[in-house]
Homo-oligomer: A and B are copies of this chain.
């Protein structure tokens, strides 16, 4: 793993503050003591960062007065922009999809609980990969109750779209009744599928979709590539 010294991370943070205009040339930075408190470190560690920035000519300090912004960084590494914004409500409507597996098996406890089944009831499972511009952005698994949707796997081979498949199963519309989100580290297999390195941050989402009557129809788990995806939650 990367072992960035803390002072370097602080220097980078302050440099970006200057680069993005939060502190402008001539402005006084917060005092060393304040910066130390903000970053949760000792004052000397802040001084190490400021010293580095002073060497680069970004800031200059005057004893008793403070630290002032000298110039804006000429060359600041702009973070890779996140390219794909995906709305959480538009789960099944992604541009590209690749079917990885279509299986029928017994439901585990979490799945049964979410779908209102008994543990061991059979479910149809759709494993797939979401793509955008040919790049993998999400690894998903959709679980459907087999009893209610006996032919859904067959239909999915034709449409690949969960929304359309459910429509052809007499579920014209569905809504998300529950979502849980957390950040995790990519496992080896996830990394492989999503073209990430193992341990890279991924966004893990668990959601339950239900028909207009409130009966759960799909239990979905998705792992998004953190580097390439931003979820936008739109409240109407």
Which A positions have Cβ atoms within 8 angstroms of B? 1-6, 8-10, 12-13, 20-24, 27, 30, 34, 37-42, 64, 77, 80, 82, 85, 88, 100-101, 103, 105-110, 119-120, 127, 175-185, 187-189, 192-193, 197-203, 224, 226, 229-235
Contact = CB atoms under 8 A, between A and B. Distances in A.
Given A1-B197, A20-B108, 20 more contacts: A8-B188, A9-B188, A10-B189, A12-B187, A21-B108, A22-B105, A22-B106, A24-B106, A24-B120, A27-B105, A180-B230, A180-B231, A181-B232, A182-B230, A182-B231, A183-B201, A183-B226, A185-B200, A185-B201, A233-B233
25 contacts: A1-B198, A2-B198, A4-B188, A4-B198, A6-B192, A12-B187, A20-B109, A21-B106, A23-B105, A37-B101, A38-B100, A38-B127, A39-B193, A40-B100, A41-B192, A178-B234, A180-B232, A181-B230, A181-B233, A182-B229, A183-B184, A183-B203, A184-B201, A185-B201, A185-B226
A67 to B, nearest CB: 14
A106 B29 CA distance: 12
A21 B12 CA distance: 41
A34 B101 contact: yes
